């Protein structure tokens, strides 16, 4: 994947998070304002705070799920 494709994937994952109730979970008012001001077609609107948030979304989807070993009891 090139940089543009990775950026578009970050935007897509971030949008999915926000549309599924993510805005209710964000407590940083500055990040919320950065999200409001963000324009995908204007890269200069991407702040360092927004880049960090989008990197987090990509990282969460890039790792395999963490599973605890289940303990089964035999009767």
Q: What is the pLDDT of residues 13-55, one digit of tens each?
A: 999 999 999 989 999 999 999 999 999 899 889 999 999 999 9
Tokens of 2: 């090139």
Collapsing DSSP states into helix, strand and coil, what is residue 59?
A: helix
CA distance 39 to 17: 17
pTM recorded for the entire structure: 0.76
Range of the domain at 33: 3-62
Q: List C-alpha distances in Å: 75 to 69, 72.
A: 19, 10
Residue 26 resides in a domain: yes
| Domain total in the chain | 1
Q: List C-alpha distances in Å: 60 to 30, 41, 44, 45, 73.
A: 22, 24, 25, 23, 32
The pLDDT of residue 74 is above 90:
no
Residue 71 resides in a domain: no
Confidence (pLDDT) at 1 = 81
Confidence (pLDDT) at 67 = 67
Region 45-73 average pLDDT? 83
Residue 72 resides in a domain: no
Residue 43 resides in a domain: yes
């Amino acid at each position: 994947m090139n940089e543009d494709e990775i950026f578009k994937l970050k935007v897509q994952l971030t949008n999915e998070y926000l549309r599924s109730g993510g805005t209710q979970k964000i407590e940083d008012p500055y990040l919320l304002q950065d999200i409001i001001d963000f324009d995908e077609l204007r890269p200069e609107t991407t702040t360092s705070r927004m880049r960090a948030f989008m990197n987090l979304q990509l990282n969460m989807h890039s790792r395999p799920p963490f599973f605890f070993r289940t303990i089964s009891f035999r009767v």
